[in-house]
Amino acid sequence: MQQSDDVRRIKERLDIVEVIGDHVRLKKAGANFIGLCPFHEEKTPSFTVSPSRQTFHCFGCGQGGDIFTFIMEKESLGFREALEVLAARAGVTLAASRGGERKERNLSDVMEMACSHYRTFLRGPEGEAARAYLERRNLSPETWDRFELGWAPSSWDSLWNSLFRQGVPPREALDAGLVLEGKGGLYDRFRGRVIFPVRDIAGRLLAFGGRLIDGEGAKYINSPEGVLYSKRKNLYLLHRAKEAARASGRLILVEGYMDAIRLHLGGFEETAASLGTALTEEQALLIRRLADRCCICYDSDLAGQEAAMRGMYVLQKAGLDVRVVDLPRGKDPDDLLSLPDGKELFGKAIESARPLILHHVFLRGDMLRSPDKRRRATDEILSGVGSLSPVDVAPYLPRVAAALGIFPHELSALLEEYRKRGAGRQEGTREKDKKPVPGKDDGGDDVEAAVCSLLWKDDHIRRSADERKVLSLLGDERLQTVAAALLSASSREEVEARWHSLGETFPLRAIARGGDWCEGLGDARAAWDVVLDILARRREQREYDVIREKLSRGEATREDLLRFQEVARSLKGGSSEKEK
């Protein structure tokens, strides 16, 4: 009884679109939302979420249910655990646990205990130095609460004593990364540091960052990677940034805790901070669920920007539109926002952020002008830009070419070289057992590519084509995938946008190639008939060859024989299956 009451109260407070939106990039489609199913591999969205029914359903794999089913499946939890996760998120106290039943404590609970310990100490007598430090940084007591800032006192075992008194076993404190084991027993990891709690996108407490305010030692230390925490997979303040990021279509990425907090206070709530690693693909995927654009606002010193370049390409390759924010020399976001007109200045800097490609060229400006470094700078830019999708690069070709002192068509040719080399490398290492496509490589076979091109170009053909038949005529699996995506989409823009966001370059290359081939065949409908005819005859020819081979080995069955005669007649008479 109590449990169904809990379920009802949780459902009242949580919106399924919001909960699933943390895991899947959802797009509004009529009354529902659609996205790529997290439970099976797919390239066309068949996963729908209904806000009115508060349910989800995948037409591809059949998964479906409510928020509880979703969390249980997605995070491999039992019902009881899913209930706890969602209760915490909804701010609902579970009836069962209020009833005095012994509740399993998990690591997150231990982390929360530590968090409130640190927060209490910031307000207490031991926290004086920390409070003075925060006030010097212009952070008011309200912001300490808003961002859950805390203070780990300098003593060796203040936290451990408190956890021990509350019955936390040593193993759990160690697993949570809160204490370390020394000769004399356990001691606190964070000592004499201002504490920043790090939560995941759903708000679960994963880690702490600690900033030294005086004395010897590293300026920042963080919780270790472990059961709870992986810095590759998280961004600081993302759980607070997600709504603003969804609404504005962009996420601002800064380096440090202080910068992120300062931007939130300055009204740029779509801000998160990377946690001391080069940006990763996992982080790119997190961001992509929320926004298309990522504005990177790192230290304005050149060394810092160099180091970040690789990570920026990682994000762009993952389908984000990466912009690099250029702050006035020597200023970090924290400095800038502290100025009286800081908010305006920062807003302008965001608006005029440079697309990644132009930023790269800009950074290499000096080298490009120096005769002996020119070659190296050019190679480096080409290998970066050549790793991106041609669709991402196209708008900037003329400006990049001008900076390199060559013509745009020369640049295109160079980039194509780089792409081929890159693709060759990949094929060699990862896709060794993938069947090579006979003959042509770039965009696949001309005639098969023409099918994709016509499906893309002509709405009528796309809507009226017989999907099974068309797909059966294509021998190249890559082109089959492209054609299937076009045939199942409601508009070509929809598929196109998805290719762009996935950074897939093959489909548009194939479409372009097929379009060239169709040139001169008349209008799309006429070309369609010609193309299908050729492919049908090719297929019959293949079939003919196979059966003839069987016949010569004496392995043909009676059905083979009948089919052989049929195919032979059709090939001779010029009539194909299509015209029957």
> Hey, what amino acid is at 65?
G
Q: Alpha-carbon distance 418 to 433, whole Å?
A: 23
Is residue 293 within 8 Å of 252, Cβ to Cβ?
Answer: no
Structural tokens at position 81: 């655990």
Segment contacting Zn ion (CB under 5 A): 52-60, 228-236, 303-311, 468-476? 52-60
Whose tokens are 């199942």? That residue is 488
Picking from 132, 116, 20, 131, the residue whose alpha carbon sits closest to that of residue 67 is 20
Q: Closest CB to Zn ion among 24 and 385?
A: 24
212, containing H or E segment: strand 205-212
Least Å distance, CB 20 to Zn ion, is 13
Which of 12, 41 has the CB closer to Zn ion? Answer: 41
Least distance to Zn ion from the beta carbon of 318, Å?
21
From 57-65, 499-507, 512-520, 529-537, span contacting Zn ion (CB under 5 A):
57-65
Q: Half-sphere exposure of residue 320, counting CA atoms within 13 Å on the CB side?
A: 34
- Smallest gap from Cβ 42 to Zn ion, in A, equals 6
Measured from the CB atom, the residue of 60 and 475 that comes closer to Zn ion is: 60
Cβ proximity to Zn ion, 115 vs 502, nearer residue? 502
Task: Tell me which stretch binds Zn ion (CB under 5 A): 51-59, 415-423, 532-540, 550-558.
Answer: 51-59
- The answer to whether 367 and 376 have CB atoms below 8 angstroms apart is yes
State how far the Cα of 469 lies from the Cα of 172, in Å rounded to an integer. Answer: 60
Site mask for Zn ion (CB under 5 A), range 508-547, x = bound: ----------------------------------------
Supply the minimum distance, in Å, between the C-beta of residue 41 and Zn ion: 9
Query: What burial class does residue 214 get, using C-beta atoms within 10 Å of its C-beta: 0-12 exposed, 13-18 middle, 19+ buried?
Result: exposed
Shortest gap between Cβ of 16 and Zn ion (angstroms)? Answer: 16
CB 23 to Zn ion: min, Å: 13
In order, the DSSP letters of 113-173 are HHHHHHHHHHHSGGGHHHHHHHHHTT--HHHHHHTT-EEE-SSSSHHHHHHHHTT--HHHH
We find the least distance from the C-beta atom of residue 58 to Zn ion, in angstroms, to be 3
Give the span between the Cα atoms of 383 and 418, in whole angstroms: 6
Q: Supply the minimum distance, in Å, between the C-beta of residue 38 and Zn ion.
A: 8
Phi, psi (rounded to 5 degrees) for 228? -85, -40
Q: Which stretch binds Zn ion (CB under 5 A): 53-61, 306-314, 325-333, 407-415?
A: 53-61
- Dihedral sign, Cα of residue 455, residue 459, residue 463, residue 465: negative
Residue choice 61, 247, 413, 526 for contact with Zn ion (CB under 5 A)? 61
Q: Give the residue with the Cβ less far from Zn ion, 56 or 236.
A: 56
Look-up: residue for tokens 């440090």?
256
- CB closer to Zn ion out of 21 and 256: 21
Contacts of 41 (CB under 8 A, 6+ apart): none
Q: Applying CB under 5 A, does 60 fall inside the site for Zn ion?
A: yes
Comparison of 61 and 227: residue with beta carbon closer to Zn ion: 61
Contacting Zn ion (CB under 5 A), which of 16, 58, 235, 324?
A: 58
Residue 208 structure tokens: 């702490």
- The binding track of 182-211 with respect to Zn ion, each residue x by CB under 5 A or -, is ------------------------------
Q: Which of residues 377-436 bind Zn ion (CB under 5 A)?
A: none
Q: Min. distance of Cβ 482 from Zn ion in angstroms?
A: 21
Between residues 60 and 203, which has the closer beta carbon with respect to Zn ion?
60
Cβ-based nearer residue to Zn ion, 64 or 224: 64
Count of residues in contact with Zn ion, rule CB under 5 A:
6
Closest distance of CB 40 from Zn ion, Å: 4
The residue written with tokens 């430090």 in the block is 133
Which residues lie below 8 Å from residue 530, measured CB to CB, with a gap of 6+?
521
DSSP character for 236?
B
Nearer to Zn ion, 14 or 37 (CB): 37
CB of 497 to Zn ion, least distance (A): 20
Q: Which stretch binds Zn ion (CB under 5 A): 54-62, 181-189, 383-391, 495-503?
A: 54-62
CB-nearer residue toward Zn ion: 37 or 482: 37
3-class state of residue 435 by DSSP: coil
Rounded Cα gap, residues 129 and 135, in angstroms: 10
Site for Zn ion in 25-44 (CB under 5 A): 37, 39-40
Residue whose CB is less far from Zn ion, 64 or 355: 64
Q: Least CB distance from residue 17 to Zn ion, whole Å? A: 17
Query: Which residues contact residue 387 at a Cβ distance below 8 angstroms, ignoring those fewer than 6 apart?
Result: 313, 317, 418, 419, 422
User: For residues 333 and 354, what is the distance between their CA atoms, to the nearest angstrom?
Assistant: 17
Residues that bind Zn ion (CB under 5 A): 37, 39-40, 58, 60-61
